[in-house]
Each structure stands twice: as structure tokens, then as C-alpha cells.
């Protein structure tokens, strides 16, 4: 019990919902899969509501009555590939809904029947029954549609019990067949009969009986030695009452002559569609088309797939012509390693020919072939090379569909192409076509596949393909979209995986009809040129196939890997006109702002002030101690007119000393008498001061400046270091007011080498700072002078003019 419980855990349970086929509401399916778990018994505690139970590939050998009691909803029970030896269908008595029961591939020897009314599908094939296990109750299961059976002996009486059942499919999966009573199969009433034969069985009788039984007959494993030696061939080749119209043979391994006899046999029956898959020919080729009676047939389609030859020396002509002379509607010989194909010299009725996956070469078309009714030709996966040769062949047909994919086709410009007017679809994918292929295309082509070729451009001088609706140019080497000048009605274009960096928008103007466009997986260069293309996607609702996953930038490198939809290229960076306008606007705004500042805040004054200040700082830094050596004792000498003395005393001096607090100043107040020259002391003062300040006002110019002009004229000081002098313009002095005899002053004024006393109090801070910076110097050697007391010495000789030494920290 414990063991079983642990197994239960591993049985996977899947719930799925199917919408009911009828009007019933949807039904839920609960699948319990216990497949391939080495189970010896049916687990006890499986979900009782299970509807599908899979117990295949286990080791079950016996079923108990109680095993499936609880599954009242069970519909599908799969018990194949176990070791069950006995089956009592009454076991499923309580599974009223059971409709599918698969007990194939077990070791059943006997079945105890019970009429399960609901059962539709019952598979007892590939078991060890001695005889086919049918009985009266089997015949009572009137819903049965698909019945799988097996048995070493097959007798008429077995089938008679189920003869009245109207079955859809009878499947005979036989492990061995020791005896078959002729005429047994035709007793069954079924639409389809599929027989899987054991190896090396005498299939002949079963084939004949099978064809009398059902409309569709499929026989798997037809092999062994020649079956026909023991028969008087000619008589047995005639079959009356044949019902089969579709005959399918799988896994056939026969001598060529036997196969030919089967064809001959089938030829005169009711079969219209004959398909052989996985066929191997062996033996010698004695019989060929010459011994084949082509008359009197209803055959329309023959299909041979996956054909192998075990013959070393195939007389190709005889083999190929057997088929091409059949003159039916449809013929397929694919996966056959055929190097060639031959046709009768007279016209044949073929409408559909499929020679896919062979090794056909251009030689096929070198002889003239007459296929006037041909509608479809499939030559996929061969070794054809010359497109014009195919076209010349096609020119004599009424071909509509042509599949030439996976060949080695090319077109040279000087070759003529003669496609039929009827050709509407052509598949040239996976060939070696270059641009020139566009000069060899059918005029009325509607669907053209040129996927995976070597096309670089669509030439301009080609014929107009006015009917072309679908064009596939994926996996080529195109660098741009082709445009629709030659394909006016194009509606589907695939140009995936080419070398398109930025698709040109001309395409969208010329290709108005395009509904579906695939430009994915190209190496897009995500620059401004691509902007319109990205925009276009937004308006073209769903036109671009694969958007947005397949549309990825390759260049520039910083955008590599970004999806096009995520690339943002702002209007301004892409539109030159807009860029220029923006720059101009910005300049205008800046200009206006600057002008406004100049007018409103006297910006130039500030600028000039700042300029002077920085210059001063620069100079001060450069002033070496050497320069100071010239016996300097004062920071500054100040000369002014008596009219301005109030300003000097209450504004200038307090502000000059504001920062360091210790500034030695030599003051000279001029008097109103212009006749008096400056004294010895004054000159002394000038020479011992680091800087000289002249407070300029009209009055000062009138009365005082003459002394200095003279003085400067005599001493070259002014030339040597003009920055030694600081002019403070207290009131504006128009240039014309300066007398011509003062050239020095004039020069200074013209150079604007003065500090202008601002009327606006807000500007004074900067003015003073500037001034302080100009006179700032470290007067080391003047230290001893600090003992000087403040004094005012009235110079008697020059009355009205005063020279004062001021130590500002003591003021």
C-alpha cells in the first residue's frame, strides 16, 4: 500500500478544458498520466474524477474488477505496451462513459466480451491471440467506429460476428499470421482498412481481399521473396468487385519485377490514388514499360516517396518511362535520388508533376518534352542550373505553379526566357540568382519567391510585372527597398535579412498598395534618415511584419541592439532649417537680454570694473619685492581739489582702509589758487607712495592738474609704469573740456584709464574693492614708520594747500 501511495505522487495530473463539440457547455478533462513507471498494478488511489487515464508502458499483467470501479467519469483508458494476458471487458462495467480503450501491444490470449454500449474506439491489435477475438457481444457494440484486432489465424467466421457493424476503420496489427482464409476481409463493412503485416508474409491474398473490402486500404510491411512465381500471374492480376479507390503501401521492399506486377494489377482495379512510401527496389529489371498494359484504368494519381534502389545498374530509361508513360493526372516521385527523368516523345496528360528532392540536372530539359496540360511542376531540391532552359521547357506548357526552390539556378543576361503567360506562382528560393533574374521572369507572375539568392539590386530596365502581388526577397544582399515602379500592384513584400541601413521613403510613395511589409533583421543605421521610417510604422497599423522585435539598430555602435521603436531622434537634431531657426532665436534672446542688462544695470560699467580689477590683481601678483625697494613709505598718495575734500574724507579714506585697516596715506589738498605749484613735500610724497590717486573733477583739472602735468613731463615715471597712477573720475569730464595743454591727461582719458565713481550706490562696493586691490601692497619696510602719530602739518608757505600724513588705523 505504501509503495503504491508513493507512486501516486509521480502520476502527473493535467486539467484541460475543451469546448464541447455539441452545444453542451465546455467539459473539463482531467488527465492522469502514469506512463512508463514500471507499475505492476493499477494504483489504488488515483483521482476518481479522472477522465483520461494513461497506464501505457508499464508492467501490468492482470486487471482486477475493482481497478477502475471508482472512475465514473473515465472516458479514455490507455493500457498499451503492458503484459496483460487476459481481458474481461466487464471490468469496465461501471465506466459508463468509456469510449476509448487501447489494449494494444499486450500479451492477450483471450477476451471475455461484454457489451459496452458507449465504446467507440477499441484497440486489441498486436496481441497474442490465436484467432481473431470476436464474438456475438462484439457485434452488439453498435457505437464502435474504430476497431483494432489481431490474431495468428484469420477466418471468415471471426468477421461474420461483426459483419453488420458499420465501422470507420479496422486496424489489423499482426504479430504473426499463420493462416488466412481467403475471403475473410471482404466480410467487414469498413471505410478504411489498415493492415500491418508481419515480416515476410504472403501479402498477395491480403492485398486482393483488402481491395475488395474498403474504400481506403493501407498495408504496411510488404516485403519478402517474389510472390508471383507460384501464381499464374496473368489470371490473378484481374480483380473483380474491387472497392478501393485509395491505396497506400508503406515500407515496401520488393524486386523490381514484383513491384511492376503490383502496379499492373492495381492499374486495372478501382484505385484512383496509389501511394507508396518508403520503397526499396531490388532484383533485376526484366520487365519494363514495354510489358506494361497501360490501357483501361481509372488511375489518376501515383505518388512514390522515399525511394531506394538496391539495383546497381538501373536501366534508367526503362524505369523512368514506366511511370511517365502512365499518362495520368498527377505523378510524384520524390526523395528518390533520381539523376534523370525521361518522357515519351508524344504529348501526355500530366497536370501535376512532383520530382522534389532528387538530383535532376539541366539534362532533363535538353530533349523536348510535351506536357501541354501541365499546371504544376515541382522540382524543388534538385541540381538544376540554367533558368532559361527551364523557361523554354515551360513555354510549351500551360504551367501555373512552378517550384524551383533549392536548386543551383542562375540566369545570364544574354539568354532568352520564354515563360508561358499562364504562370502565376514561381518559387526560386535558395538558388544562385543575381540581379539578372529580373530579366527572366514570367510577365503575369503573381507570387514570386526569390528568398535566399544573391540579388543586390532590382534593375531599373526590366519589364513591368503588373500582376505581381507577393514578392519575397528575404536573405539577399539588397541595400534598399526596391520601389514599385515595376510592380504596380505589389501588396506583400518580404525583404528581411538584407543589407538595408535605412530604407528610402520613395518606396512608400510608389508602393501605395503594399499591405504587408517585412523589413526585419536588417542592419539598420539609426540616424536621422531612419526617422521617417520609424514614424511610418506608427501610421501603418500592423503593416510591418515582425515589429518591433525584428527591427533592431546595428549602427551607430552606441545604439546597437536597441529596438527601432525605442530610438528617439528629436526633430531638432534632424531638421537643419529648424536647427538654424532655433540658434537664431536663441541668439536674439541672448542679445536682447544683454542689451537690456546694459541699459538697465549698466553692465559695461561692471564689466570694465571687473576687467580693471582682474588686471590689477594680476599686476599686483607680478609686482616683485624689488620694485618696492624704491624706498616706499606710503601706500598711497591722494591728491584732490578742495571742492572734493568731503568726498575724500568721508568716502574715499574710510573705504580704502576698510579691509586691512592699516594703510598709510599721504594726502594733498589743492587750493583754489592755480598759480601755486606743488611743493617739495608733495613731490616727495608722490615718490614715496606705492600708488598715486588723483581725484578728477572739473575743478581739479582746472586748478591742480597743471602741476602734475608738468611734473610728469619732467619725470619719466608716467611712461615707465603708467599703472602707478590711479585716476578717479568723480564727475564726468567731457573730453573737449580738457585743455590742450594737458596731453597726458587727454591720453589717459581717451584710454579710459580711470576709475569712474558710480552715481549708483549699489555699484560702490565693486568700485572700492577695485580700488583697494589696486593699492594693496605689503609694505614690510614701512613697519618702523608705524610709530608715526597722526598729524596734520599746515604748510605755511603754501597756504590753503595741506599735506597730511594719515595712518588710517589710528584715525
Contact between 334 and ligand NAG per CB under 6 A: no
Among 380, 400, 469, 744, binds ligand NAG (CB under 6 A): 380
Confirm or reject binding of residue 682 to ligand NAG (CB under 6 A): no
> In angstroms, rounded to a whole number, what is the distance separating the alpha carbons of residues 188 and 210?
10
Among 31, 62, 85, 115, binds ligand NAG (CB under 6 A): 115
- Strands 553-555 and 190-196 come out as unpaired
The answer to whether residue 140 forms part of the interface with ligand NAG (CB under 6 A) is: yes
Q: In angstroms, what is the minimal distance from the CB of 44 to ligand NAG?
A: 23
Q: Is 112 in the site for ligand NAG (CB under 6 A)?
A: no
- What single DSSP character describes residue 262? H
Rounded CA separation 514/533 (Å) = 15
Least spacing, CB of residue 472 vs ligand NAG, in Å: 6
One symbol per residue from 56 to 75: x for binding ligand NAG (CB under 6 A), - otherwise; what is it? -x------------------
Distance between CA atoms of residues 644 and 733, nearest Å: 15
CB of 358 to ligand NAG, least distance (A): 14
CA triplet 259, 265, 268: central angle to 5 degrees? 140
Strands 352-354 and 802-807, sheet pairing: unpaired
Q: Which stretch binds ligand NAG (CB under 6 A): 19-27, 135-143, 210-218, 673-681?
A: 135-143
C-alpha cell at 62: 492482470
Nearer Cβ to ligand NAG (376/456): 376
Smallest gap from residue 352 Cβ to ligand NAG (A): 4
Is residue 301 near ligand NAG by the rule CB under 6 A? yes
Chain positions 494 to 513 lying near ligand NAG, rule: CB under 6 A, are: none
Q: Which residues of 770-793 are buried (b: 16+ CB within 10 A; e: fewer)?
A: bbbbbbbbebeebeeeeeeeeeee
The kind and range of the H/E element at 802 are: strand 802-807
Residue nearer to ligand NAG on the CB measure, 442 or 670: 442
The distance of closest approach from Cβ of residue 34 to ligand NAG in the complex, given in angstroms and rounded to an integer, is 12
Task: Say what angle helices 680-688 and 705-714 make with each other, to 10 degrees.
Answer: 60
Report whether 108 contacts 128 (CB < 8 A). Answer: yes
Q: Which of 18, 96, 166, 349 binds ligand NAG (CB under 6 A)?
A: 166
Residue selected from 12, 15, 28, 36 as contacting ligand NAG according to rule CB under 6 A: 36
Distance of CA 90 to the CA centre of its chain: 59
Q: Residue 429 or residue 453: which is nearer to ligand NAG going by CB?
A: 429
Only one residue has cell 541601413, namely: 501
> Is the CB of 166 or the CB of 310 nearer to ligand NAG?
166
Helix, strand, coil in percent for the chain, rounding step 5:
30, 20, 50
Q: What is the smallest separation between the CB atom of 351 and ligand NAG, expressed in angstroms?
A: 6
Which of 88, 137, 362, 480 binds ligand NAG (CB under 6 A)? It is 137
Q: For the CB of residue 79, give the shortest distance to ligand NAG in the complex, in Å.
A: 14
> Sign of torsion, CA 354 356 358 361?
positive
Q: How far is the CB of 460 from ligand NAG (least distance, A)?
A: 25
Stretch that binds ligand NAG, among 98-106, 133-141, 638-646, 677-685 (CB under 6 A): 133-141
CB closer to ligand NAG, 179 vs 215: 215
Taking CB under 6 A as the binding criterion, the range among 84-92, 132-140, 431-439, 610-618 that sits at the site for ligand NAG is: 132-140
d(CA 263, CA 435): 46
Q: How far apart, in whole angstroms, are the C-alpha atoms of residue 692 and residue 771? A: 11
Q: Which helix (H) or strand (E) holds 665?
A: strand 664-670
Q: Cβ 502 to ligand NAG, closest distance in Å?
A: 28
Contact 191, 168 (CB under 8 A): yes
State which of residues 236, 330, 398, 679 lies at the interface with ligand NAG (CB under 6 A): 330
The contact pattern for ligand NAG, residues 402-421, with x = CB under 6 A and - = no contact, is ---xx---------------
Minimum distance between the CB of residue 281 and ligand NAG, rounded to whole angstroms? 24
Does 531 contact ligand NAG by CB under 6 A?
no
Residue 429 near ligand NAG by CB under 6 A: yes
**Binding-site string for ligand NAG from residue 343 to residue 362, where x marks contact by CB under 6 A and - marks none:** ---------x----------
Identify which of residues 406 and 807 has a Cβ nearer to ligand NAG in the complex: 406
Contact 511, 539 (CB under 8 A): no
Residue 379: CB minimum distance to ligand NAG, A: 11
| Least separation in angstroms between CB 54 and ligand NAG | 11
Q: Which of 449, 496, 657, 704 binds ligand NAG (CB under 6 A)?
A: 449
Q: Is 189 an interacting residue with respect to ligand NAG (CB under 6 A)?
A: yes
- Does position 427 interact with ligand NAG (CB under 6 A)? The reply is yes
Looking at the Cβ atoms of 115 and 623, the one nearer to ligand NAG is 115
609, 687, 797, 799 from 671: Cα distances, Å: 31, 21, 13, 8
Q: Which is nearer to ligand NAG, 405 or 689 (CB)?
A: 405
Kindly state the smallest distance separating residue 328's Cβ from ligand NAG, in Å.
8
DSSP-derived secondary structure for 666-717: EEEEE-S-TTPPPPHHHHHHHHHEEEEEEEE-HHHHHHTHHHHHHHHHHSTH
> Helix axis angle, 576-601 relative to 603-622, nearest 10°?
80
713 exposure class (CB count in 10 Å sphere: 0-12, 13-18, 19+): exposed
Binders in 603-622 for ligand NAG, by CB under 6 A: none
DSSP secondary structure letter of residue 172: E
User: Which phi-psi region, left, alpha or beta, contains residue 681 (left: φ > 0; alpha: ψ -120 to 50)?
Assistant: alpha
DSSP structure class, residue 803:
E
Q: Which is nearer to ligand NAG, 104 or 682 (CB)?
A: 104
Query: Using only C-alpha atoms, what is the Rg of the chain?
Result: 56
Place of cell 499591405: 515
Cβ-contact 58, 36 below 8 angstroms: yes
Q: Which of 660, 669, 658 is nearest to 699 (CA)?
A: 669
Task: Kindly state the number of chain residues that form the binding site for ligand NAG, as judged by CB under 6 A.
Answer: 21
| Smallest separation (angstroms) from ligand NAG to the CB of 308 | 22
| Shortest distance, position 546 Cβ to ligand NAG, whole Å | 17
**Residue 56 or 522: which CB sits closer to ligand NAG?**
56
Question: Nearer to ligand NAG by C-beta: 382 or 612?
Answer: 382
Q: State the nearest-atom distance from the C-beta of 35 to ligand NAG, in Å.
A: 7
Give me the sign of the Cα torsion angle 786, 792, 797, 800. positive
> At closest approach, how far in Å is the CB of 63 from ligand NAG?
20
> Is residue 136 near ligand NAG by the rule CB under 6 A?
yes
Complex with ligand NAG: residue 36 or 230, whichever CB lies closer: 36
Closest C-alpha among 288, 259, 377, 374 to residue 327: 374
Output the DSSP codes for 346-358: S----SEEE--SS
Task: Considering the complex, state which of residue 494 and residue 692 has its C-beta at the smaller distance from ligand NAG.
Answer: 494
477 contacts ligand NAG (rule: CB under 6 A): no
- Binding segment (CB under 6 A) for ligand NAG, from list 23-31, 104-112, 134-142, 390-398: 134-142
- HEC secondary structure over 504-522: CCHHHHHCCCCCEEECCCC
Say which residues have a Cβ less than 8 Å from residue 639's Cβ, sequence separation at least 6: 668, 670, 682, 692, 693, 694, 695, 700, 704, 708
Which residues of this chain interact with ligand NAG, rule CB under 6 A?
Answer: 36, 57, 115, 136-137, 140, 166, 189, 300-301, 329-330, 352, 376, 380, 405-406, 427, 429, 447, 449
Amino acid at each position: 500500500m505504501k509503495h503504491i501511495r508513493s507512486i501516486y505522487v509521480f502520476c502527473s495530473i493535467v486539467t484541460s478544458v475543451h469546448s464541447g463539440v455539441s452545444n453542451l457547455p465546455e467539459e473539463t478533462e482531467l488527465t492522469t498520466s502514469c506512463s512508463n513507471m514500471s507499475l505492476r498494478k493499477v494504483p489504488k488511489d488515483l483521482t476518481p474524477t479522472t477522465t483520461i487515464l494513461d497506464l501505457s508502458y508499464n508492467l501490468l499483467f492482470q486487471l482486477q474488477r475493482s481497478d477502475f470501479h471508482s472512475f465514473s467519469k473515465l472516458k479514455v483508458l490507455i493500457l498499451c505496451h503492458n503484459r496483460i494476458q487476459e481481458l474481461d471487458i466487464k471490468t469496465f462495467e461501471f465506466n459508463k462513459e468509456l469510449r476509448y480503450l487501447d489494449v494494444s501491444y499486450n500479451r492477450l490470449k483471450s477476451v471475455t466480451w461484454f457489451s459496452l454500449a458507449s465504446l467507440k474506439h477499441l484497440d486489441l491489435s498486436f496481441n497474442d491471440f490465436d484467432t481473431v477475438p470476436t464474438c456475438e457481444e462484439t457485434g452488439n457494440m453498435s457505437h464502435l467506429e474504430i476497431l483494432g484486432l489481431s490474431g495468428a489465424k484469420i477466418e471468415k467466421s471471426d468477421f461474420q460476428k461483426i459483419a453488420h457493424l458499420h465501422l470507420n476503420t479496422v486496424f489489423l496489427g499482426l504479430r504473426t499470421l499463420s493462416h488466412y482464409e481467403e475471403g475473410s476481409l471482404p466480410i467487414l463493412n469498413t471505410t478504411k482498412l489498415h493492415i500491418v503485416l508481419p515480416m515476410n508474409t504472403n501479402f498477395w491474398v491480403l492485398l486482393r481481399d483488402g481491395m475488395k473490402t474498403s474504400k481506403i486500404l493501407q498495408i504496411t510491411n510488404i516485403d519478402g521473396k517474389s510472390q508471383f512465381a507460384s501464381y499464374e500471374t496473368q489470371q490473378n492480376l484481374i480483380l473483380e468487385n474491387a472497392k478501393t479507390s485509395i491505396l497506400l503501401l508503406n515500407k515496401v521492399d520488393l524486386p523490381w519485377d514484383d513491384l511492376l506486377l503490383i502496379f499492373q494489377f492495381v492499374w486495372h482495379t478501382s484505385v484512383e490514388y496509389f501511394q507508396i512510401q518508403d520503397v526499396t527496389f531490388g532484383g533485376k529489371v526484366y520487365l519494363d514499360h514495354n510489358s506494361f498494359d497501360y490501357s483501361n484504368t481509372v488511375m489518376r494519381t501515383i505518388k512514390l516517396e522515399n525511394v531506394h534502389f538496391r539495383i546497381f545498374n538501373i536501366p534508367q530509361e526503362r524505369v523512368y518511362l514506366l511511370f511517365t508513360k502512365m499518362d495520368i493526372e498527377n505523378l510524384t516521385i520524390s526523395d528518390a535520388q533520381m539523376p534523370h527523368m525521361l518522357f515519351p516523345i508524344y504529348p501526355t496528360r500530366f497536370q501535376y508533376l512532383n520530382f522534389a528532392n532528387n538530383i535532376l540536372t539541366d539534362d532533363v530539359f535538353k530533349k523536348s518534352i510535351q506536357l501541354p496540360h501541365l499546371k504544376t511542376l515541382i522540382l524543388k531540391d534538385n541540381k538544376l542550373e540554367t533558368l532559361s532552359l527551364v523557361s523554354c521547357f515551360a513555354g510549351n506548357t500551360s504551367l501555373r505553379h512552378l517550384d524551383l526552390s533549392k536548386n543551383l539556378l542562375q540566369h545570364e543576361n544574354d539568354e532568352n526566357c520564354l515563360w508561358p503567360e499562364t504562370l502565376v506562382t514561381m518559387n526560386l528560393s535558395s538558388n544562385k540568382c543575381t540581379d539578372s533574374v529580373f530579366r527572366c521572369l514570367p510577365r503575369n507572375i503573381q507570387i514570386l519567391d526569390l528568398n535566399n539568392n544573391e540579388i543586390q539590386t532590382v534593375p531599373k530596365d526590366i519589364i513591368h510585372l503588373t500582376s505581381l502581388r507577393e514578392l519575397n526577397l528575404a536573405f539577399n544582399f539588397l541595400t534598399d527597398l526596391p520601389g514599385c515602379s515595376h510592380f504596380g500592384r505589389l501588396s506583400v513584400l518580404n525583404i528581411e535579412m538584407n543589407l538595408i541601413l535605412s530604407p528610402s521613403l520613395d518606396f512608400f510613395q510608389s508602393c501605395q498598395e503594399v499591405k504587408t511589409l517585412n523589413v526585419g533583421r536588417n542592419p539598420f543605421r539609426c540616424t536621422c534618415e531612419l526617422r521617417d521610417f520609424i514614424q511610418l510604422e506608427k501610421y501603418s497599423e500592423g503593416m510591418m511584419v515582425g515589429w518591433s522585435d525584428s527591427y533592431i539598430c546595428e549602427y551607430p555602435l552606441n545604439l546597437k541592439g536597441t529596438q527601432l521603436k525605442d530610438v528617439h531622434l528629436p526633430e531638432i537634431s534632424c531638421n537643419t532649417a529648424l536647427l538654424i531657426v532655433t540658434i537664431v532665436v536663441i541668439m536674439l534672446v541672448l542679445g536682447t537680454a544683454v542689451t537690456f542688462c546694459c541699459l538697465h544695470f549698466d553692465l559695461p560699467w561692471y564689466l570694465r570694473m571687473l576687467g580693471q580689477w582682474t588686471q590689477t590683481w594680476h599686476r599686483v601678483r607680478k609686482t616683485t619685492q624689488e620694485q618696492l625697494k624704491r624706498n616706499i613709505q606710503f601706500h598711497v598718495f591722494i591728491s584732490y581739489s578742495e571742492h572734493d575734500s568731503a568726498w575724500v574724507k568721508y568716502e574715499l579714506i574710510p573705504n580704502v582702509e576698510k579691509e586691512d585697516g592699516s594703510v598709510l596715506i599721504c594726502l594733498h589738498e589743492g587750493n583754489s589758487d592755480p598759480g601755486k605749484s606743488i611743493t617739495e613735500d608733495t613731490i616727495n610724497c608722490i615718490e614715496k607712495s606705492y600708488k598715486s590717486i588723483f581725484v578728477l573733477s572739473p575743478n581739479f583739472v582746472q586748478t591742480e592738474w597743471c602741476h602734475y602735468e608738468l611734473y610728469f613731463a619732467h619725470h619719466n615715471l608716467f611712461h615707465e609704469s603708467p599703472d602707478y597712477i590711479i585716476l578717479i573720475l568723480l564727475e564726468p569730464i567731457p573730453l573737449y573740456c580738457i585743455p590742450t595743454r594737458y596731453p597726458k591727461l587727454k591720453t589717459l582719458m581717451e584710454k579710459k584709464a580711470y576709475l569712474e565713481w558710480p552715481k549708483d550706490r549699489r555699484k560702490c562696493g565693486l568700485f572700492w574693492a577695485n580700488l583697494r586691490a589696486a593699492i594693496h601692497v605689503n609694505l614690510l619696510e614701512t613697519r618702523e614708520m608705524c610709530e608715526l602719530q597722526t598729524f596734520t602739518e599746515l604748510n605755511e608757505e603754501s597756504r590753503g594747500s595741506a599735506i597730511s600724513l594719515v595712518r588710517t588705523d589710528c584715525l
